[in-house]
Amino acid sequence: MQASAPVLDVIARVLHLDDDERGYLFQLAGKTTTARTRRHGRQKVQPQLQRVLDDLTATPAIVQGWRGDILAWNALAAALVIDFSRIPEKHRNYPRLIFTDPAMRGLYADWEGSARIAVAQVRMEAAKYPEDPRLIELVGELSTRDKQFAQWWGDHRVAARTVGTKTLNHPVVGELVLDWDTLTANTDPDQHLTVWTAAPGSPTHEQLRILASWASDQNMSPSSSLR
């Protein structure tokens, strides 16, 4: 008689298996771990990613967890996007901010395109963790609060966090054309470091330098200073 996935989950917890050992246990039993349930509690940024953020002073960067929760950021990201330290931790979620914060709607030149990608990314997470209560709550809240979210959620599109180019209408430095890229942590595949960059010598590259100076004058706080 073969053990079921829930039973294997219990065994893994009792034996205090790490993610690799847990994955191997499921492989031996011929089970998949794709739709696994996350551990209880909030994700914490991996120390390695936090150190990268601390060293990035001229490049905006954030770390997102599953659901799009914002786990950490540097000062320039706070100046570029929004001062994350002013947002209650339970609401510090990128898709939620895109749909509920008026400043975020004004920031993206193509807000609809960015919002659709956010919905597709949330759907990707929902496919991985269909029983996650906070993810279910997030989808329910946004579906109720925003008709466009509800409509786009019904499109059944999915998207992974990869690369792209965004045009932002920043209230301090004006129009920015930024390339963004996402790196996944090997220590936790559900943590993603997103960075925004501009080609050296481009107008946006110079504007980021100006924004960094402005952020310093405004005492924008990186997440590490809040610990």
Q: What is the pLDDT along the chain (227 residues), one digit of tens a residue?
A: 566 666 767 677 777 776 667 666 776 776 655 444 454 467 889 998 999 998 998 999 999 998 999 999 999 999 999 999 999 999 999 999 999 999 999 999 999 999 999 999 999 888 888 888 999 999 999 999 999 999 999 887 776 667 899 999 999 999 999 999 999 888 888 899 999 999 999 999 999 999 999 998 888 888 865 54
- Burial status of residue 177 (CB atoms within 10 A of its CB: 0-12, 13-18, 19 or more): middle
Please tell me whether residues 21 and 126 are part of one structural domain: no
The pTM for the full model equals: 0.81
The Cα 156–Cα 165 span in angstroms is 23
Question: What is the CATH classification number for the domain harbouring 183?
Answer: 3.30.450.180
Please tell me whether residues 10 and 108 are part of one structural domain: no
Instruction: Give the model's pLDDT for residue 2.
Output: 63
Distance of CA 193 to the CA centre of its chain: 8
Instruction: Give the model's pLDDT for residue 43.
Output: 85
Residue 42 lies in a domain: no
The 3-state secondary structure of 45-69 reads CCHHHHHHHHHCCCCCEEEECHHHE
Instruction: Give the model's pLDDT for residue 41.
Output: 60
Domain that holds residue 26: 1-33
Element (H, E) at 156: none
R_g (Cα) of the chain, nearest Å: 19
Instruction: Give the model's pLDDT for residue 35.
Output: 41
Please tell me whether residues 4 and 82 are part of one structural domain: no
Phi, psi of 204, rounded to the nearest 5 degrees: -65, -35
Please tell me whether residues 14 and 92 are part of one structural domain: no
Residue 162 lies in a domain: yes
Instruction: Give the model's pLDDT for residue 34.
Output: 44
Q: What's the number of domains the chain is made of?
A: 2
Residue 64 lies in a domain: yes
Residue 218 lies in a domain: yes
Instruction: Give the model's pLDDT for residue 112.
Output: 96
Instruction: Give the model's pLDDT for residue 37.
Output: 47
